[in-house]
Amino acid sequence: MAVVRREELQRWLRGYERAWRTAGTSSLSELFTPDVVYSPSPRSEPVRGLEDLSKFWEKSRSGPDEQFDMQSEMVAMENETAVVRVFVEYLHPRRYWRDLWVMKFAAGGRCALFEEWPFAPGQSDGH
């Protein structure tokens, strides 16, 4: 069992943001295991494996020049599991996201399971 530590998680989060801002997807192999299971929302099928994640990643973003501000806050950590609250503001066009990320890390610090629980203002929350 891997144990994630606060400084490792902070480094991983900086790497995630840097990868989102960088052209291409080669840096994803530094962040995720080859057999990663990546769930972009609780209502969608997970993306399985680094190759499919790379395709999903490129399709999901406007490009590395996309302007945004990202802040994160660690909510909980236990053993290999971390929960992070993420705030993202895209500047052009202006839109906001408030997410929870639930992640499980493998030995070596790469993420093996990533669940995103996204919420955008104006989006129905089911109530």
Q: Compute the average pLDDT of residues 104-127.
A: 82
Q: How far apart are CA 28 and CA 36, in angstroms?
A: 10
Condensed to tens digits (0 to 9), the pLDDT of residues 66-102 reads 787 889 999 999 999 999 999 988 777 777 888 999 9
Give residue 64's pLDDT: 64
Whole-model pTM over 0.85: yes
Task: Evaluate whether 113 touches 36 at the Cβ level (below 8 Å).
Answer: yes
Q: What domains appear along the chain, each with residue ranges and CATH number?
A: 6-119 (3.10.450.50)
pLDDT confidence bin for 10, thresholds 50/70/90: very high
Neighbours of 91 (CB within 10 A): 10
